[in-house]
């Protein structure tokens, strides 16, 4: 036993130092003290001396740079340089385009939660709140989604006019250029509210405020371009679109076949130097009504009019819609969601160099410009749309499940419905937290490349699941389209969110972990940059610091992953209150596991990792759920730790943790090098998987919150349009809930009287008459029951139509004669 004591002391000192990430010299000092204690306390002297020798052999070269760099660092740098997969210019641009926020802590294996919790609570200014309560509320009141989606397949002229007049297209354009100068958080709030009443309206407003001419001009435009175009974009004199996607290259700007040749041509009656464009684009939102088209193309200068470079690269230009040779195609019709969308083609389209966004200085820098701006747009529009739809779905479905009765019982009381309603509410809570966190990052000045892909993917995926569950609970009410239906169009639109701004399959399998592993990792990008330095001495010095920092980091994460696995993450310092501390510890555990898995994968698979898309997707799922869990906890803290929200918080966190373990389990079971997978499993799951999906008892509590007027339900409903009115059936149903709850005891009294007494009347009014006459209910209670019947009828009623009402607008009557086509959409807009 005395022989084992020095060995254990050596290992425990190393584990302690690794867990707490102590400096190498500190580890040496702790280990030396431990071995000295073993010597003095009578442990085997031979074993103690042997461990001391091991310590000296390991520590001496590591502590002395003059020994370490030539003997260890230089050979490893040589090997690393050969293994390092080459980075193309486009990959390097994509990696360098974004900033790293708290998501970097999640990749560290030891998140600094103080950094998250010290971030300011997202809040609107008084001016922003006034706009949300004023023009935005007024716009929502004007929306007749059935008229938009079925009758017109477009916004009516008065809505177009209102949107332009109130500068909805200029939410984030600075005031000095005629815009409203609102924050990214405000952009999120506006889109969220509009999406809760109409995805067509939210898309129409969202696109000009995300990736498009305005965003690009604000970042890169010349002062002349800004002063000319931004005021016109803000007030709607110009309607913008951005043409990136084409039939062959999709949204891959590096492969687009569209091109522009530098040449001389005529512009406004003068001969100028410019570009002659050939392009073929599709899926371009707002194209049919756009007056100013942003175009991505590859720029060539075969005659050397600008210099020696023949292939200048991806460039971006502004093309007025009436430029000769430019053809705005007919409309696409994306799944009965008639936001303006269509193809754009051009042949021999000449524009001067002054139409390049940023002028001639930015020729060939289009890929960099797109990468730097794309994450900003991706952070807002689609996550906010999903948030608005999910929050609306949660509160209105809860009200409907309380109002709608089967077998004399509210359908929300059935366990099967409770399970689905809890899933809706829990996911809506997570979506709203994630979308707000990402918008808040943009508002703080970050360019969140990785969080934007997480938010886009997971908000839209969870939004699709919420929409499906909303449809399931509503049943026939959800599938019969018409003015009374508030769920069907949202369900139809969900695949659009999944597809646009980067298809979700590719986002998950390539982008989230692919970018995160390099951008968020504390050492990988530093190593890559150091290895590519031209100066040999600087290359060795910088690589040395990054390499040994990385080694210490990897050892720490292995120890932390094992410790958290052995203890079930029940021990350790964590922030939060008594209710949430366990969740912070869980995220600590899986942060270490992710870091360990990422390092192992990159070390053993190298450049092949980018082709292991299933592994990359699963590790991306872990990173995503860590970020989602962080956003949920931050929301809970920002709102003052409301006790009423704890069931929602717990459901969302248990769901995230279960998904983390599922993803880790899948990655480990399918790791390409099987023995390594077994070893990692022993470190990450020493006692096997323990996380489970949210339980039935918790789900019952969550469902009850959505079916009962309470503070938690009110917080869920914040930011969506629930004002009752003739054009807002969802708002009406939500408004009925308090009255329905108050009427339920009277309804039970009435039903009891029907069972216990021989009431002759068969119709509802006759039964009420007899109940009042016999004194079983009061006259006031009769009025309450009549109101309950009217509210229930409004909630469950669906629409029906004459056959001719459902025919396409291009035909009429009983014979289907074609009629003249309507005015062009641009004229209507």
720 burial class (0-12, 13-18, 19+ CB within 10 angstroms)? buried
671: Cα within 13 Å, side-chain hemisphere: 21
H helix runs in 639-673, sequence order: 646-669
DSSP state of 606: G
CA distance 108 to 110: 5
| CA–CA distances in Å: residue 768 to residues 403, 741, 779, 790 | 20, 20, 9, 14
- Do 321 and 282 touch, CB atoms closer than 8 A? no
Q: Is residue 224 annotated as a catalytic residue, yes or no?
A: no
CA distance 346 to 258: 9
H helix runs in 444-503, sequence order: 449-474, 476-479, 488-499
The residues near 227 (Cβ < 8 Å, ≥ 6 apart) are 177
620: Cα within 13 Å, side-chain hemisphere: 29
- For the chain, how far is it from start to end, CA to CA, in angstroms? 86
For the record, the structure tokens of 543 come out as 């690589």
How crowded is residue 414: how many other Cβ atoms within 10 Å of its Cβ? 15
| CA–CA distances in Å: residue 662 to residues 238, 426, 450, 687 | 49, 18, 21, 15
- Do 170 and 180 touch, CB atoms closer than 8 A? yes
CA distance 525 to 96: 10
Burial letters for 751-771: b for 16+ Cβ neighbours within 10 Å, e otherwise? eebeeeeebeeeeeeebbebb
Phi first, then psi: what are they for 327, rounded to 5°?
-120, 115
- Do 473 and 124 touch, CB atoms closer than 8 A? no
| CA–CA distances in Å: residue 783 to residues 202, 379, 779, 787 | 40, 50, 7, 6
- Residue from 418, 501, 527, 770 carrying the catalytic annotation: 501
CA distance 110 to 269: 64
CA distance 12 to 4: 12
The residues near 505 (Cβ < 8 Å, ≥ 6 apart) are none
- Do 319 and 351 touch, CB atoms closer than 8 A? yes
In sign, the C-alpha dihedral spanning 304, 308, 309, 310 is positive
Our separate counts of H helices and E strands in the chain read 35, 11
DSSP letters, 591-611, are HHHHHHHHHHHHHHHGGGGGG
Q: Which of 778, 774, 743 is nearest to 756 (CA)?
A: 774
811: Cα within 13 Å, side-chain hemisphere: 11
Give me the residues paired with residue 409 across strands: 406
DSSP state of 365: -
For the record, the structure tokens of 725 come out as 């009115």
Enzyme catalytic residues: 501
């Amino acid at each position: 036993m005395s022989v084992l004591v020095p060995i254990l002391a050596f290992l425990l000192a190393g584990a302690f130092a690794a867990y707490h990430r102590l400096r190498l010299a500190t580890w040496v000092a702790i280990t030396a003290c431990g071995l000295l204690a073993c010597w003095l306390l009578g442990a085997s002297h031979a074993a103690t001396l042997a461990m001391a020798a091991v310590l000296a052999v390991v520590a001496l070269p590591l502590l002395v740079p003059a020994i370490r760099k030539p003997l260890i660092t230089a050979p490893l740098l040589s090997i690393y340089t050969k293994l390092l997969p080459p980075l193309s210019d486009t990959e390097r641009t994509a990696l360098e385009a974004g900033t790293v926020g708290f998501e970097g802590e999640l990749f560290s294996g030891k998140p600094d939660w103080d950094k998250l919790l010290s971030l300011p609570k997202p809040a609107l200014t008084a001016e922003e709140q006034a706009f949300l309560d004023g023009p935005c509320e007024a716009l929502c009141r004007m929306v007749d989604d059935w008229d938009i989606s079925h009758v017109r397949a477009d916004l009516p002229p008065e809505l177009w006019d209102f949107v332009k007049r109130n500068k909805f297209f200029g939410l984030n354009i600075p005031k000095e250029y005629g815009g409203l100068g609102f924050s990214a958080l405000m952009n999120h709030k506006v889109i969220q509210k509009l999406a809760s009443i109409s995805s067509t309206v939210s898309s129409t407003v969202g696109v000009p405020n995300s990736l498009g001419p305005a965003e690009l001009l604000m970042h890169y435009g010349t002062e002349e371009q800004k002063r000319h175009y931004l005021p016109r974009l803000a007030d709607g004199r110009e309607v913008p679109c951005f043409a990136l996607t084409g039939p062959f290259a999709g949204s891959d700007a590096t492969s687009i076949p569209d091109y522009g040749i530098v040449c001389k041509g005529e512009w406004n009656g003068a001969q100028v130097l410019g570009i002659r464009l050939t392009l073929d684009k599709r899926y371009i939102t707002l194209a049919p009504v756009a007056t100013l088209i942003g175009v991505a193309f590859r720029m060539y200068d075969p005659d050397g009019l600008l210099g020696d470079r023949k292939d200048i690269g991806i460039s971006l230009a502004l093309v007025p819609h009436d430029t000769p040779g430019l053809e705005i195609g007919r409309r696409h019709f994306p799944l009965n969601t008639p936001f303006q969308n269509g193809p754009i083609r051009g042949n021999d389209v000449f524009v001067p160099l002054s139409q390049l966004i940023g002028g001639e200085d930015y020729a060939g820098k289009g890929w960099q410009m797109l990468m730097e701006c794309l994450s900003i747009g991706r952070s807002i529009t689609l996550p906010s749309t999903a948030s608005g739809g999910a929050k609306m779905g949660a509160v209105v479905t809860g009200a409907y499940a309380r109002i709608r009765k089967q077998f004399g019982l509210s359908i929300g009381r059935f366990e099967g419905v409770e399970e689905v309603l809890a899933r809706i509410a829990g996911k809506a809570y997570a979506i709203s937290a994630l979308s707000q966190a990402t918008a808040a990052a943009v508002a703080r000045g970050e360019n969140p490349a990785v969080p934007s892909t997480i938010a886009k993917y997971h908000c839209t995926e969870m939004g699709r699941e919420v929409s499906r569950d909303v449809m399931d609970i509503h049943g026939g009410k959800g599938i019969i389209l018409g003015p009374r239906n508030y769920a069907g169009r949202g369900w139809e639109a969900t695949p659009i969110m999944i597809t646009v701004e980067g298809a979700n399959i590719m986002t998950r399998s390539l982008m989230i972990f692919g970018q995160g592993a390099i951008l968020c990792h504390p050492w990988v990008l530093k190593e890559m940059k150091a290895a590519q330095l031209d100066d040999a001495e600087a290359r060795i010095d910088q690589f040395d610091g990054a390499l040994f920092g990385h080694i210490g980091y990897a050892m720490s994460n292995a120890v932390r992953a094992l410790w958290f696995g052995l203890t079930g993450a029940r021990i350790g310092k964590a922030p939060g209150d008594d209710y949430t501390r366990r969740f912070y510890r869980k995220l600590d555990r899986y942060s270490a596991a992710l870091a360990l898995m990422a390092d192992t994968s990159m070390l053993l698979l190298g450049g092949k990792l980018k082709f292991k898309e299933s592994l990359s997707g699963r590790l991306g799922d872990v990173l995503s759920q860590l970020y989602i869990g962080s956003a949920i906890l931050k929301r809970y803290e920002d709102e003052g730790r409301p006790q009423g929200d704890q069931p929602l918080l717990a459901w969302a966190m248990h769901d995230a943790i279960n998904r983390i373990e599922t993803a880790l389990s899948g990655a480990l079971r399918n790791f390409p090098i099987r023995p390594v997978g077994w070893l990692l499993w022993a470190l990450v799951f020493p006692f096997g998987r323990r996380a489970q999906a949210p339980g039935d008892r918790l789900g019952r509590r969550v469902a009850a919150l959505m079916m009962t007027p309470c503070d938690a339900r009110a917080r869920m409903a914040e930011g969506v349009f629930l004002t009752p009115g003739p054009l807002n059936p969802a708002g009406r149903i939500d408004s009925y809930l308090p009255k329905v709850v108050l009427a339920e005891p009277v309804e039970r009294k009435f039903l009891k009287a029907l069972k216990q007494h021989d009431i002759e009347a068969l119709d509802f009014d006759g039964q009420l008459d007899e109940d009042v006459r016999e004194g079983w209910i009061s006259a006031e209670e009769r009025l309450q029951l009549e109101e309950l019947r009217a509210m229930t009828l409004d909630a469950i009623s669906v629409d029906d139509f004459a056959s001719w009402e459902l025919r396409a607008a291009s035909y009429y009557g009983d014979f289907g004669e074609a009629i003249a086509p309507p005015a062009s959409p641009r004229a209507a807009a």
